[in-house]
Structure 1
Amino acid sequence: MTLLSTLQIANNSLIASQLGLQVVGNNIANANTPGYIRQQVVLTPAPTQRYGGLLLGLGVEVQAVIQQTDRFLEERLRSALSDLASGEAQEKTYVQLESLLGELSDTDLSTALTDFFGSVQDILNQPDSESVRNLAVLQGQSLAADISRMHERVGQLRTDINTQIDQTAVEINGHINEIAKLNVQILQAEGGGTSASDAVGLRDRRSIVLNELAQILDITAIEQPTGDVSVYVGGDYLVFQGTARPVTIEQTTDRGQTVSRIKLIETDAPLFSSSGKLAGLVTSRDAILGGFLDSLNDFATTLVSEFNKVYSQGQGLSGYSQITSEFAVDNVEASLDEAGLKFSANSGSFDILVRNKQTGLSETTQIQVDLNGLDDDTSLEELVEAINAVDGINASIDPNRRVVIKTDSQLVDFSFAGDTSGVLAALGINTFFKGTSASDIGVNKQLIDNPALFAASGGGIGEDTDVAIKLANLLSTPLESQNGSTLAVLYDKLTAEVSQGAAVTTSVTEGYRVFQNTLEGQLLAITGVNLDEEAVRMIQYQRTFQASARVISTINDLLEVLVNI
């Protein structure tokens, strides 16, 4: 053992202290840098040296500079980030949907429903007033417009979310390409796992990108012994070493709207993610908003069908001189229940009342409808033939396969009553509402042009208000087609599904948020920079550096003495 060996020991200590101070300085400089992972110098005793019969140490060596982190905790945090991003996307959608429903305002659908049926009730008080009937028509238009507007706005929300899904495809490709590039750089910097040190700056960036990708997709990131990370979604890999598998957009149709599906270009298979922003957006678009549209359409269809079934049996203050059915059939020779009508019809009959406007006398003719599934079921052709047999009117089928009924003379008009078959409502004859769903619901144009046609009577033109009584009470009348539920109950169910879904989603998302914050706090306790701890380490390295410098100074003095002897 010589003085020069001791000098080398002191030099190694100086180098270790210098590197330690550099790492401490880097930690302090990045104390507030998002995504920075605290670094630590790994010191190890230098190999021993034999001196005679002795084994003497050669000081200290810097083995590596590594990151202080927990890979398992990082993976759990990424999973929590995916769950939270999915929950927040759905939570935001429910907030927007509740805002559209506006159940706490005076412009919600429940108010429009109440106003409409209230206006029908007013006809009972003034049955001879055309202006009161006109008000009922206007309220019907307002209700139909509100339902249509709701459908349109929810559809626009779906379109906006679909645009966001398109953007996620771009984000996914950007992230996986960057991860693949960082894999190559880390592999080169660390020598494929041969270096004990971490490529700290590159790993920091890769960790940030992985977290950003985890917020979009439910990824699994597996670090290989060589330092690169393989990224999987479900059973498909997105990144392997320096290779990224990009995704693309496929356009399909759902509920009458163009929607996007993300798929892998290489396999042409859909990209499935159980959580993350993408899963939350898809659930919002298809399940939350799509499900609401289904319920809204069901409600609108039930409203149109049930109201028209009752309304089509009534007569107004005046009769028709001509009427054309709203709905066409696919085949005029097919039975009416198999002819492609939107609403169902069954066996039964309805009455046609032909009135002489001069004498006020009416003649009633019953039209039979046979739809029992046996031979000779009634077709549109046969129905028109039966109507044609009624004195005073004639019926035909226009080129669009719709029924046209006209009077033979200006001295007569006609109306309808007693429909037990539902065929009038199914064909759209003598109906109040037009359309079949929330997207196309409206009020019959003939009624808008002539409110006197509002069918309030059940015993003849302008005779009574029997039909109006049924219509006014329809909101709270149990419906056989809905297993005894009323229109009011159906609407309450529609809004309750939204409010309950919003409450559950908010609760679950808050749970995700708390869990994510907990994991983030645990990880920050490991990876975050503590300025107090770094200050202590800085003092330790400073003192070690000073002591090592004193050793070198002492050896220098001894060498001078030795040289001067």
Structure 2
Amino acid sequence: MGLNAALSMAKQSLEIFGTGIQVSGQNISNAGTPGYIREELVLNAADPFRQGALVLGTGVEVSGIQQQIDLFLETRIHSANTEYSSIEERNLIYKQLEAELRELTEGDLSSGMNEFLATINNVVNQPNSIPDREFVINEAEKFAAEISSLRLRVNDLREVQSVNVENLVKEANELIDTIIELNPKISKLEASGLLQSDAGALRTQRYTALNRLSELIPIRYRERSDGAIDLFTGSDYLVLAGSSQKLTLQTGTDRGVVTHEVLLSRTNSNISRTGGELKGVIEGRDDILGSFVDQLDTYTSNLIFEFNKIHASGEGTAGFEQLTAASSALDPTAALNSTQSGLPFQATHGSFQIKVTNKTTGLTNTTTINVDLDGIGADTTLNSLSAAIGGVTNLSSSVSTDGRLSITAGSDYEFRFSNDTSGALAAIGINTLFTGADSSDIQINSVIQQNQQFLATGQGGGPSDGSNAVLLAAFAENPIDSLGGISLDGYYEKVVSNIAQASASEAALSEGSQAFRDSLLGQREQFSGVSIDEETINVLTYQRAYQSAARLVSTIDELFTVLLNI
């Protein structure tokens, strides 16, 4: 038994050491393969046997070929992937928003406002200068276009994020399908009597899919005894035994942009904001970009209303013979300060004056129109306001079917407005420069576009009166109650400053999160990655062992020859 046992042991050693060289070769071949997990040949001493009074060893045996992976570390990496991916998406969106704001350049809104107000200042000393008046109108058009353009550009960014959501959901579902397909393959291969070996390449594919999926949404998994895994996101399953569910899109509209929420196909759980790139993209679309759209609308609506309130109380170098309001009321029978009226802005309790002038004699009749909005009794509606204006001598007034107030002077008469303490004229769009309600529809009143004489630079002091232009030039510095007592300029500066601070904070968070993830990936590389130096040493070790086993076979062969020659 001695020589036969030794020969059998040598033969087995040759096979095992050859396998060891093959495993090391596999590792070396995949040293540059992303996500590859180093494999190791697991060896154990074979069971001994008794021969007479002696207990002899039987060499070495293979327990299996196993991947070198720290599952706890993988779990930490998945969590770090989820956190970093979410923060980085927000960070990128902040940078995109900052680029669109173009602050500290000639194309930012602050510069546009300053250029617009500068043209009004030029009119103060020359209110009857036609070129200067036309320049004001041109700059107003340019400024309104800049606001609209910024709104469109931010909306474009939001639409891009909605497309990103679609792509991320598609990718996540493909990764889930990959895991579903790999599960039975791994179970089948590892259950084929191959000792305790891992289905290396298949497991690597699954680990790679899990790693990428963890960047998209938060995940956790548990491995079953057959090698397959159950996959979860939060408290919901994605893959559970023979059942699975995918990510689906729920489409809606938010602030004029098509948006998507992400639900699970079976449980209908909303996972849009649970974490990962998906969360970062959706928060960027709705919370970062969407919030800025709201702030831009707040800025623009206050710009329109506050400027128009001053403009509506002023006079141009010519009076109106006929004028139709720029804004329409949904319900002309509703109070002017009610939401039911459908007006973009709400008037307050007060009054304004209408001056009717005979163009031949120059005689002017001034009438005060009360705007009753004290909530006591019948409040002023568009219809009642029209009736009050129509009661002024040499004026007629009506409300069109689309809810617009129209005023017409009698033959050889013209009218102007002054001293509006109610904001009613600005609310309905009478004697205003800007039209619209917010950044989505701000424009210049076509009445002034077509005739610069209606630009209200004075307050009744004649062609050289620039007193209203003085007020218009300073309007952006006036405190506004709806903005918490800060000016329009102050509000926009605050918005831009907050975005800059939030962007810097997000960048710092991203940098810290990336550093933490990279440290975990470094640990993974040390534990699971391939070291060419180490594998070269392993190859040399197996080579020497193989040579020794071959030498043992040669020696045993010589001993058998000696026995046969006796």
When the two structures are superposed, what TM-score results if normalisation uses the length of structure 1?
0.97
Q: 1:183 to 1:461 in 2, by over 3 A?
A: farther
Structure 2 counterpart of 1:478: 479
Structure 2 counterpart of 1:421: 422
More displaced stretch, 282-291 vs 240-249: 240-249
3-state SS, counterpart of residue 351 of structure 1: strand
3-state SS, counterpart of residue 20 of structure 1: helix
Q: 1:119 to 1:336 in 2, by over 3 A?
A: same
Structure 2 counterpart of 1:342: 344
More displaced stretch, 337-346 vs 118-127: 337-346
Offset at residue 556 of structure 1 (A): 1.3
Q: Could you report, residue by residue, the CA deviation over 1:377-409 in whole angstroms, capped at 9, with x for unpaired residues?
A: 112221111111101110011111211100111
Structure 2 counterpart of 1:402: 404
3-state SS, counterpart of residue 96 of structure 1: helix
- In the alignment, is the contact (CA less than 8 A) between 1:315 and 1:461 conserved in 2? no
CA separation in 1, counterparts of 2:405 and 2:456? 20
More displaced stretch, 413-422 vs 355-364: 355-364
More displaced stretch, 455-464 vs 207-216: 455-464
Q: 1:193 to 1:211 in 2, by over 3 A?
A: farther
Offset at residue 340 of structure 1 (A): 2.5
3-state SS, counterpart of residue 336 of structure 1: coil
Q: 1:344 to 1:333 in 2, by over 3 A?
A: same
CA separation in 1, counterparts of 2:333 and 2:272? 48
Structure 1 counterpart of 2:159: 159
Q: Could you report, residue by residue, the CA deviation over 1:167-218 in whole angstroms, capped at 9, with x for unpaired residues?
A: 1111111100001111111111112999511111101111111111112112
- In the alignment, is the contact (CA less than 8 A) between 2:124 and 2:467 conserved in 1? no
Offset at residue 53 of structure 1 (A): 2.6
- In the alignment, is the contact (CA less than 8 A) between 2:166 and 2:249 conserved in 1? yes
Offset at residue 459 of structure 1 (A): 3.0
Counterpart amino acid of residue 69 in structure 1: I
3-state SS, counterpart of residue 63 of structure 2: strand
More displaced stretch, 41-50 vs 5-14: 5-14
Is 1:487 matched up with 2:454?
no
Structure 2 counterpart of 1:52: 52
3-state SS, counterpart of residue 457 of structure 1: coil
Offset at residue 460 of structure 1 (A): 5.4
Structure 2 counterpart of 1:372: 374
Percent identity of paired positions between Structure 1 and Structure 2: 38
Where do 5+ consecutive residues of structure 2 fail to align? none
Structure 2 counterpart of 1:358: 360
Offset at residue 435 of structure 1 (A): 0.3
- In the alignment, is the contact (CA less than 8 A) between 2:18 and 2:546 conserved in 1? yes
- In the alignment, is the contact (CA less than 8 A) between 1:16 and 1:62 conserved in 2? yes
- In the alignment, is the contact (CA less than 8 A) between 1:305 and 1:343 conserved in 2? yes
More displaced stretch, 319-328 vs 193-202: 193-202
Q: 1:41 to 1:166 in 2, by over 3 A?
A: same
Number of positions where the alignment pairs a residue of Structure 1 with one of Structure 2: 564
- In the alignment, is the contact (CA less than 8 A) between 2:272 and 2:278 conserved in 1? no
More displaced stretch, 529-538 vs 265-274: 265-274
Q: Could you report, residue by residue, the CA deviation over 1:334-356 in whole angstroms, capped at 9, with x for unpaired residues?
A: 22222222211111111001111
Q: 1:412 to 1:134 in 2, by over 3 A?
A: same
More displaced stretch, 151-160 vs 246-255: 246-255
Offset at residue 465 of structure 1 (A): 2.1
CA separation in 2, counterparts of 1:466 and 1:437? 28
- In the alignment, is the contact (CA less than 8 A) between 1:184 and 1:228 conserved in 2? yes
Counterpart amino acid of residue 554 in structure 1: T
- In the alignment, is the contact (CA less than 8 A) between 1:318 and 1:461 conserved in 2? no
Moved over 6 A (4+): none
CA separation in 2, counterparts of 1:173 and 1:483? 47
CA separation in 1, counterparts of 2:306 and 2:380? 23
Aligned counterparts, 1:113-512, within 5 A: 113-191=113-191, 195-241=195-241, 243-338=243-338, 339-409=341-411, 411-459=412-460, 462=463, 464-512=465-513
Offset at residue 463 of structure 1 (A): 6.3
3-state SS, counterpart of residue 230 of structure 1: strand
3-state SS, counterpart of residue 337 of structure 1: coil
Offset at residue 245 of structure 1 (A): 1.4
- In the alignment, is the contact (CA less than 8 A) between 1:301 and 1:438 conserved in 2? yes
Structure 1 counterpart of 2:34: 34
The Cα RMSD (Å) is 1.6
Structure 2 counterpart of 1:548: 549
Structure 2 counterpart of 1:538: 539
Q: Could you report, residue by residue, the CA deviation over 1:132-188 in whole angstroms, capped at 9, with x for unpaired residues?
A: 111111111110000000001110111111111111111111100001111111111
Aligned counterparts, 1:10-29, within 5 A: 10-29=10-29
Q: 1:333 to 1:272 in 2, by over 3 A?
A: closer
CA separation in 1, counterparts of 2:473 and 2:2? 112
- In the alignment, is the contact (CA less than 8 A) between 2:327 and 2:435 conserved in 1? no
- In the alignment, is the contact (CA less than 8 A) between 2:144 and 2:444 conserved in 1? yes
CA separation in 1, counterparts of 2:261 and 2:333? 42
Counterpart amino acid of residue 55 in structure 2: L
Offset at residue 432 of structure 1 (A): 1.0
3-state SS, counterpart of residue 408 of structure 2: strand
More displaced stretch, 225-234 vs 306-315: 225-234
More displaced stretch, 435-444 vs 542-551: 542-551
CA separation in 2, counterparts of 1:345 and 1:396? 19
Offset at residue 359 of structure 1 (A): 2.4
Q: 1:516 to 1:44 in 2, by over 3 A?
A: same
- In the alignment, is the contact (CA less than 8 A) between 1:193 and 1:225 conserved in 2? no
Q: 1:562 to 1:192 in 2, by over 3 A?
A: closer
Where do 5+ consecutive residues of structure 1 fail to align? none
Offset at residue 229 of structure 1 (A): 1.9
